[in-house]
A and B are shown apart, each in its own frame.
Chain A
Amino acid sequence: MSETAPKLETDAAAILKAQKRRNVWLALALVAFVVIVGVSTVIRLQESDFGGSDRLYFSGYMDEAAKEKRDREAEERAIAAQAEAEARLAEEGGNE
C-alpha cells in the first residue's frame, strides 16, 4: 500500500502535466487559426474590386451602393463639364 501511493501521485502529476502541455498546443493552434483567417480575409478584401462576379464576402447591396456612387459621381462630372462649357461660351460671347 505504501509503495503504490507515491506511484499513483506520480501518474496523476504526469497526466496533469500532459494535459497542460496539450492545452498549450491547442491554444497555439487556435491562435494560429485566427491569424490565418484574419490575414487571408485582409488579402481577399484588398484583392476584391467589389464588382466582379466571383464575390465571396459581399452580397448584391454592396454592388448597388457602389453603382449608385459611380452614377452620382458621373452625374456630378457631367454637370461640372456642362457648367464649364457654358462659362467658356459666355466668355467667348463677351469677347466678341
Chain B
Amino acid sequence: MSVDMTASQPQARLASARDYVELMKPRIMMLVVFTAVAGLVAAVGVTGQGMNPILAGVAVLAVALGSGAAGAINMWYDADIDEVMVRTSTRPIPSGAVPRSEALAMGLIMSALSVLLMWIASNVLAAALLALSIAYYGWFYTMVLKRRTDQNIVVGGAAGAFPPVIGWAAVTGSTPLDAWILFAIIFFWTPPHFWALSLVAHKEYAKAGVPMLPVTSGAKATRLQILLYTILLIPIGLSPLATGLGGWVYAATSVALTTGFLYFAAKVYRSRAGEADAGDEERKLAMSMFGFSILYLFGLFAALIIEHGFGLYFGFGGV
C-alpha cells in the first residue's frame, strides 16, 4: 500500500486538547512509562547507584515525550489505514480534527525535545537509546515493517522493549544483562499480546491491507504462534530469578502470572478464535487473553518496583 506523504486532510472539526493527547497514544505511553520506571528503580536497587529524584522525574518525562512523539509519527504515517479500520477511524487525523502535517511536526519536535531532555537529565547512552527507540517505532516499524511482513509485530516489538533499558541506562550509564532481560520479557511478550487482539480484528487488518499473521497465515497458525511464544516467554519471564534481579515477591508474582498466561494461550489455541465461524465466546476468549497479557506485564514490572523501590527485596540464598 503506497502512502502519499504530502496528502493532508481538510480540518473537519476543531481540535481539542484531548485530540493532541490522543495523538500521543496515551495508553501505550502509560505502559512505556511504567516499564521505564521499573527499569530505573531496579537499577537503583541492584547497583546501589543513586539518581537525583528531580533528574529521574525529568528522565521519565523524556521517555513519555519520546513515546508520544513516536505515536504521533505513527498516526501521521498510518492515517490512511486508520481511516479504513473502524477501531481507529475516530483517531484525531482520520476524524479530521488534526491535520496530518501538524501531527508530523508535533512528532518530530517532541522527538528532538525528549532526546535533549534525556541527555540533560541523565547521560548520552540513555539519550541515544531513546532516540533509537523512537526511530525504531516511528520509522522502522511504522514505515518499513508494518505493511510489508507478517513478522511486523515480532521484529517491531523491540521498540516497546527499550524503555526499561533506557531507565536502567539513565541511572547507571550502562546496560548490563539484567536490563536486557527486561528487554527480552517485553520483546517476547509482544507477539502473543498483539496477536490475541488481531484474532479479533483480523478482518479490519485485511480490509486495510495490513499483513498481520491471521490475515496472511490464518487463525490456526496464529493461535499456534501465540502458544509457542507464550511457552518461550516462561523461562524468560522467570530469568530475573536466576540473576538475582527478582526476589521472592517477583518469584510468586511471575509464577502465578505465567501460569495464567499459559492457561489463556492454551485455551485460545484449542478454541476457534479468529476463524470465520467463530462466535462471541471465542471473541471474548481472545480479548480476555489480550487483557490478561497486559496484567501479566504490569504485574511483573510492578513486582520489581515493589522489591527494589520499597525495600521488599528478599533474594534467594546464594544469589
Are the C-beta atoms of B117 and A43 separated by less than 8 Å?
no
CB proximity to B under 8 Å, residues A30-77: 33, 36-37, 39-41, 43-44, 47, 54, 56
Are the C-beta atoms of B54 and A39 separated by less than 8 Å?
yes
Are the C-beta atoms of B17 and A18 separated by less than 8 Å?
no
CB proximity to A under 8 Å, residues B81-116: 113, 116
Q: How far is the CB of A78 from chain B (nearest CB, A)?
A: 37
Are the C-beta atoms of A36 and B61 separated by less than 8 Å?
yes
Q: Which residues of A contact B58 (CB under 8 A)?
A: 36, 39-40
Indicate whether B12 reaches chain A with its CB closer than 8 angstroms: no
The interface bits of chain A over 1-45 (1 if a CB of B lies within 8 angstroms of the residue's CB, else 0) are 000000000000011001000100100000001001101110110
Are the C-beta atoms of A37 and B120 separated by less than 8 Å?
yes
State which of A18, A36, A40 has its C-beta within 8 Å of the C-beta of B15: A18
Are the C-beta atoms of B14 and A43 separated by less than 8 Å?
no
Q: How far is the CB of A23 from chain B (nearest CB, A)?
A: 13
Are the C-beta atoms of A25 and B17 separated by less than 8 Å?
yes
Are the C-beta atoms of B14 and A18 separated by less than 8 Å?
yes
With contacts A15-B14, A36-B61 known, is A43 near B54, CB below 8 A? yes
CB proximity to A under 8 Å, residues B44-64: 52, 54-55, 58, 61
The interface bits of chain B over 116-133 (1 if a CB of A lies within 8 angstroms of the residue's CB, else 0) are 110111011000000000
Indicate whether B279 reaches chain A with its CB closer than 8 angstroms: no
CB proximity to A under 8 Å, residues B16-52: 17, 52
* Distance between Cα atoms of A44 and B117 in the complex (Å): 12
Q: How large is the interface on A (under 10, 10 to 19, 20 to 34, 35 or more residues)?
A: 10 to 19
Q: How far is the CB of B173 from chain A (nearest CB, A)?
A: 7
Q: Which residues of A contact B120 (CB under 8 A)?
A: 37, 40-41, 44
Are the C-beta atoms of A40 and B54 separated by less than 8 Å?
yes
Q: How far is the CB of B69 from chain A (nearest CB, A)?
A: 13
* Distance between Cα atoms of A14 and B15 in the complex (Å): 11
With contacts A36-B117, A37-B120, A40-B121 known, is A47 near B52, CB below 8 A? yes
* Distance between Cα atoms of A37 and B58 in the complex (Å): 9
Q: Which residues of B contact A22 (CB under 8 A)?
A: 15
Binding site for A on B (CB under 8 A): 14-15, 17, 52, 54-55, 58, 61, 113, 116-117, 119-121, 123-124, 173
